Amino acid sequence: MSTRDKILLLPQLAAQVRAWRAAGDTVVFANGCFDLLHVGHVRYLRAAAALGDHLVVALNSDASTRRLKGPGRPVASERARAELVAAVRGVAAVVIFDQPTVEPLLRALRPAIHAKGTDYTPATVPEAAIAAELGIQVRIVGDPKRHSSADLLRRLRPDATC
């Protein structure tokens, strides 16, 4: 499967996730903006992928990333970011979303595991309540949060606001 073929619309992805679950496979869900893909992102995604059979990544749309990160972001378009994330070993599928939270995606996909990065704790995961309601296990994965796209941007463009 080509990298671009891994980028799916939600109805396509939901059908694929149902098929994986019907086959007895474990589906893992991760999410983020992934603007300026860096080593911390790759370590997070690879650790998430190791938790199950299929890793689904929800990628914030350009508009959603702009709302979260501010003007000038994202640096890369949602399609470019989705293709980069899809190219990471272990990523089975990518979906672009525009909602303020991933709650609708968790409801639609019902993965077994929701993987969050080490900038969260079990107590601070925004989706903890919905995960508990749906029986989704929350796991914290990746290396310590010592990498960020904002830090990279500051080094590349010292005069920019990130």
The answer to whether the peptide bond before residue 74 is cis (omega within 30 degrees of 0) is yes
- The reported pTM is 0.88
For residue range 93-135, what is the model confidence (pLDDT) as tens digits?
Answer: 999 999 999 999 999 999 999 999 998 998 899 999 999 999 9
Structure confidence by residue, pLDDT tens digits, 33-48: 998 888 999 999 999 9
Look at residue 20 in the predicted model and tell me its pLDDT: 98
**Residue 126 in 3-state DSSP?**
coil
